[in-house]
Structure 1
Amino acid sequence: MWREIISSFLYIAIELTVLFVLITFLVSIIQSVVPFHKMEKWLNKGNTLLSALFAVLFAFITPFCSCSTIPMVVTLLRKKVPFGIVMVFLFASPVLDPTILTIMTAMLGWKVALIYTLTTTVLSILIGLSLEKLGFEKQLKNVLLKNYQPENKGLNLKQSVAETLTLIKTVYPFLLIGAAIGAIIHGAVPTSFITQYLGGDNWWLVPVAAIIGIPLYIRLSTMIPISQMMIAKGMALGPVMALLISSAGASLPEVALLNSIFKKKLVAAFVISVISMSTISGFLFYLI
């Protein structure tokens, strides 16, 4: 059993390492040449749908985790970007990441990655704009953000390498943890356990997985190898994706941070929205 766990861990870790380093470096280069002030203008377009699509694009090229998204959210709000557009960015940023999508494609297949991307994009836009229509903008607190101003200084390969190394130091350990957990699941957890308690088409597994994911604070880079092993063991794809999206889209540390800029009603609406997004996505994977 231990030999199988170790060999599985090495295979997953090497594969993820190559993908993680290459894509992270590429994203860093893209970020260095995208002018932030122009992104602000695009997010303030008169056409709401167009601005929402730009918010998703902005989320895609700024691969933040759920907690590191908050300073950017405050910056956008202070620069008078419409509330609904900022909410679209808040929901999309943690779940849409080129590095994660590349890893997801390699481990779960391009169809899963494509459906995941389309689903999270559409739901982020619908939920974000709906919160504005429902008047939740009134639930914002007056918050001043100090010593945070994104700058663009043009293409700088040394800076890109430095940023890549910094991101690797903070994120890569979580990716290895995910590979280790996935390897343990692969080598130690009996297939019968997964199929009996987590497999099948029990609809209630999807909302349960969505709720369980909130307090876990598991990065997507950690969850994907775990998800691969759970699916291989017989767990249905719907609950796996619900767990993956909820654990990435919200977390207890993020909720604590949001409590400093959102009033309680908006914090509750945010958590309910993430659970709803995860649940709807899980059911869609069941249907598709």
Structure 2
Amino acid sequence: MWDVITKILLEFLSLSKNLLVLFIGITFFINFIQAYVPFERLEKWMSGKNVFLGNLSGAVLGFITPFCSCSTVPLLITMINRNVPFQTVMTFLFTSPLLDPWILALMAYVYGLKVTVIYTIATFIFSMLIGWFLDKRNFRQYVKEVMVKGNLAELDEARRKSIVYNLKVSTKETLGLIRSVLAYILIGAFIGAIIKEAVPTDFLAFISDQNQWWVVPLAAIIGVPLYVRLSTMMPIAQALLIKGFPIAPTMALLIGGAGASLPEIIMLKSIFHKKLIGAFITSVFTMATFSGYLFLVLNY
């Protein structure tokens, strides 16, 4: 009993440290460079008449920003502040933790090129469809006010003229954001530590012998509340593969865990209302389940 409690506390400290360091570092970096990014031009391009290209840009942005789900939040807030179209923002939210080029290379090594290509295409398409659907259903109204005070254009101009001033503003904005999400990060890390250290691992071995048509959605459900970076999950996935665990539920577990980790969901509560949080979780579960079924249909 005490061994489990000790492991939970150690995992909580480790997760909290990693999440905070990652979140602070990425938040500060984004706050600093955003003054030099021509968001006005990007906004015009993303808001153009061609809705498909605008949505595609969100998927591509997620592909070239190798963040885990939790570290996606700072850039997500910046995009909302800059009035980037909602469907582009949501598509980015789905693709950013799932389409890391380095992870895709590792996946190709573990599972082969065909599996990796199918995973990449499926994730791209599902993310764009979900972003488009949430936008059409007007879920933008469930985003909380997280706007930075003041005139962003004038503030950016002043920050571009002085690196020292930009550093001061970036530090202030980073500290302000950290204060608003610190409790969410710690709560999520604590719950994640409990799940990781207290949930029996024999359960995965049990479900591997069951009918995969119900195992796939079950794996997606298990994956959603976990804090699982794909870089962490890949060695586990390789071990499962060696033991004969099917690819279909493994992919559902991967997408569910990396696409909507518990700490991320808790942090998103600071910028999303409950209906959008629910839609986000449902969307990740749907993406994970359908992707798993896709591999099942293709006899992987």
Instruction: Give the TM-score taking structure 2 as reference length.
Output: 0.66
Task: Indicate if the aligned counterparts of 2:59 and 2:88 stay in contact, CA closer than 8 A.
Answer: no
CA distance in 1, matches of 2:261, 2:111: 24
Partner residue in 1 for 2:245: 235
Rounded to whole Å, the distance in 2 between the matches of 1:194 and 1:61 is: 32
Residue 46 (str. 1) matches residue 35 (str. 2): no
1:103 aligns with 2:106: yes
Is the CA contact 2:212–2:249 (under 8 Å) kept in the aligned structure 1?
Answer: no
AA aligned opposite 1:248: A
Closer/same/farther in 2, CA of residues 42 and 103 from structure 1, 3 Å limit: farther
Give the structure 2 partner of residue 70 of structure 1.
73
How much does 1:202 deviate? Answer: 2.5
Contact 2:68 2:96 in 1 (8 A): yes
Which AA in structure 2 matches 1:135? N
Find out whether 1:271 has 2:287 as its counterpart.
no
Contact 1:194 1:233 in 2 (8 A): no
Q: Which residue of the partner structure matches residue 181 of structure 2? A: none
Confirm whether residue 222 of structure 1 aligns to residue 232 of structure 2.
yes
Once the two structures are TM-superposed, the CA of residue 279 in structure 1 deviates from its matched residue by 0.3
Secondary structure class of the residue paired with 2:219: helix
User: Unaligned stretches of 5+ in structure 2?
Assistant: 1-32, 150-155, 161-200
CA offset digits 1:191-247 (Å, max 9, x no partner): xx9776414643111011001011210110011121122122111111000000111
Aligned residues: 216
Instruction: Report 1:102-251 matches (<5 A).
Output: 102-145=105-148, 197-199=207-209, 201-251=211-261
Alpha-carbon contact 1:74-1:145 (below 8 Å) kept: no
Are the structure 2 counterparts of residues 48 and 232 from structure 1 closer, same or farther at C-alpha, using a change threshold of 3 Å? same
- 2:91 alignment counterpart: 88
* Paired letter, 1:134: R
Relative to structure 1, is the Cα distance of residues 145 and 241 closer, same or farther in structure 2, using a 3 angstrom cutoff?
farther
Report Cα offsets for 1:133-188 as digits up to 9, x if no partner. Answer: 11111111101358xx9x99xxxxxxxxxxxxxxxxxxxxxxxxxxxxxxxxxxxx
Give matches, 1:2-41, under 5 Å: 36-37=37-38, 39-41=42-44
- Structure 1: any 5+ residue segments left out of the alignment? 1-31, 153-188
| 1:260 matched to 2:270 | yes
Contact 2:98 2:258 in 1 (8 A): yes
Which residue identity does 1:260 align to in structure 2? S
Amino acid at match of 2:99: L
Q: Is the 8 A contact 1:220 1:244 kept in 2?
A: yes
Please give the secondary structure, in 2, of the residue aligned with 1:127. helix
Alignment partners' CA distance in 2, 1:41 and 1:198: 49
Match of 1:15 in 2: none
Distance in 2 (CA, whole Å) between partners of 1:196 and 1:69 is 34
The one-letter code matched in structure 1 to 2:230 is L
Cα distance change, pair 225–78 in 1 and its aligned pair in 2 (3 A)? same
Q: CA deviation at 1:261?
A: 0.6
Alpha-carbon distance in 1 for matches of 2:206, 2:78: 47
1:77 Cα deviation from its structure 2 partner:
1.3
Q: What displacement does 1:39 show?
A: 4.8
> Over aligned residue pairs, what C-alpha RMSD do you find?
2.7
Q: Measure the CA separation in 2 of the matches of 1:203 and 1:145.
A: 47
Q: Give the aligned partner of residue 29 of structure 2.
A: none
Q: Measure, in 1, the Cα distance between the counterparts of 2:236 and 2:56.
A: 30
1:79 alignment counterpart: 82
Residue 175 of structure 1 is matched in structure 2 by none
- Whether contact under 8 Å (1:200, 1:235) holds in the other structure is no
1:228 and 1:84, CA in 2 relative to 1: closer, same or farther beyond 3 A? same
Give the partner amino acid of 2:245: M
Aligned to 1:3: none
Alpha-carbon distance between aligned partners in 2 of 1:60 and 1:117, rounded to the nearest angstrom: 10
Distance 2:136 2:265 in 1: 22
